[in-house]
Amino acid sequence: MKIMVCHDASRKSQLALEKTVDLFRPQKPEIILLTVVEEPLDATSTNEESFRKWRAKREDELKTFASWVVDQGLEVDAVLAIGDPRKMILEAAKTKSPDILVVAKRGGGLMEQMVLGSVSAFLVRHASCPVLVMHCEQGTFQG
């Protein structure tokens, strides 16, 4: 079993990863941990430098979260993609062929609780595999 978990280094995405590991651990899945970094909209040297720093930070975070998965006794494939999150997640899902795609539910207000975020709604409509939109509020990760 392969489970792709979208991780943007937010608290909610980490909670979704933890819950996924808890739920599916008995099946000993391979966790495909995916994070996407968006490119800057304009190509100024300041934006390029900010992008390089942001990418390096996200890469370090991805390694930390991947190590956590390994510590849980599961195999992990850590993937860093660059571009539009919706497109890159779909492309990664097509390439890696997960059995399920997990994404954290975003938002916290009353209105946000009634609808999905733009990325999760897009994935539910367009992904070729089942999509689990995870709503989590508690976790244990100590990174």
Q: Could you give the CA distance from residue 1 to residue 64 in angstroms, rounded to a whole number? A: 23
Number of domains in the chain: 1
CATH code of 41's domain: 3.40.50.620
What is this structure's pTM?
0.85
Q: Which residues contact 57 (CB under 8 A, 6 or more apart)?
A: none
Is position 12 within any domain? yes
Is position 139 within any domain? no
pLDDT band at 43 (very low <50, low <70, confident <90, very high): low
Is position 39 within any domain? yes
Q: 10 Å Cβ neighbour count for 121?
A: 15
Is position 78 within any domain? yes
Is position 58 within any domain? yes
Distances (CA, A) of 110 to 30, 35, 37, 48, 115: 35, 27, 28, 37, 9
Burial of 23 (0-12, 13-18, 19+ CB in 10 A): middle
Is position 142 within any domain? no
Is position 54 within any domain? yes
pLDDT of the residue at 114: 42
pLDDT at 113 over 60: no
Average pLDDT, integer, range 77-85? 95
Which tokens go with 93?
């899902």
Residue in 65, 78, 80 with CA at minimum distance from that of residue 13? 65
pLDDT at 137 over 80: no
pLDDT band at 139 (very low <50, low <70, confident <90, very high): low
**Percent share of the chain, pLDDT over 70:** 82
pLDDT of the residue at 111: 43
- Which residue range forms the structural domain that includes residue 105? 2-134
